[in-house]
Amino acid sequence: MPDLSGMRFSESHEWVKRDGETAIVGITEYAQSQLGDVIYLELPTVGQQLDAGGRLGVIESVKAASDLYSPVGGEVADINQELKDHPEYVNQDPYGKGWIIKLRAIKDNPKLLDQKAYDDFVKGKSPS
């Protein structure tokens, strides 16, 4: 089980982890399992400004295209270039090498959930 301490989560199933002045953003295990095989990501360019809860890009799986939202505000500092040739990393390791973007000049978002609250939120969604 990956170490999720220090991560916070959005109700649209992105995670964010602060790392000094920057923040790393990805999608959750639940999100990747619901999307299925990821085949393409349409991502912003470095330097672009994102709002907390604003549209970050699009993630395409075999099943469907889905919008991605930025859990916090900030400026795009880096994008995961590896995903261009290996979008399946998002499925294989969503909290690790499947990270999506890094942001700087972070504007925090008080509406994010901690791990326990997010787990409860996901449990509330599934009937089983």
Partner 1 sequence: MVVTAERTPLYDEHVRLGAQITNFGGWLMPLQYTSIREEHRAVREAVGLFDLSHMGEIRLKDDAAAQRLLTRDLTPLRTGRVQYALLCNDDGGINDDVLVYAVPEGGYLLVVNAGNQDSDFDWIRSHTPDGAVFNVGREWALVGVQGPGAVALVQRVTSSALGTVKYYAFIEGRVADVACLISRTGYTGEDGFELFCGNDDAGRLWRALLEEGQADGIRPAGLGARDTLRLEAGMRLYGNDMDDKTNPLEAGLEWTLSLDKDFIGRDAIVEARQRGLDRRLVGLKMLDRNIPRHGYRVLRDGQPVGVVSSGNVSFTLGYNIAMAYVLPALTEPQTRLDIDVRGRASPAEVVSLPFYKRPHPK
The footprint of partner 1 (CB under 8 A) covers: 36-37, 39-40, 42, 58, 60, 62-65, 84, 88, 91
Q: Residue 4 is which amino acid? A: L
Min. distance of Cβ 37 from partner 1 in angstroms?
A: 5
Cα–Cα distance for residue pair 116/120, rounded to 1 Å: 6
- Give the nearest distance from C-beta 70 to partner 1 in angstroms: 18
- In the bound complex, what is the minimum distance in angstroms from residue 40's beta carbon to partner 1? 5
d(CA 122, CA 38): 20
Neighbouring residues of 58: CB distance < 8 A, sequence distance ≥ 6 = 41, 42, 65, 66, 67, 68
**Please, which residue, 24 or 70, has the CB nearer to partner 1?**
70
Indicate the residue among 63 and 123 with the shorter CB distance to partner 1: 63
The CB-of-64 to partner 1 minimum distance in angstroms stands at 8
Q: Which two tokens stand for residue 10?
A: 């959005």
- For residue 15, the surrounding DSSP H or E stretch is strand 14-19
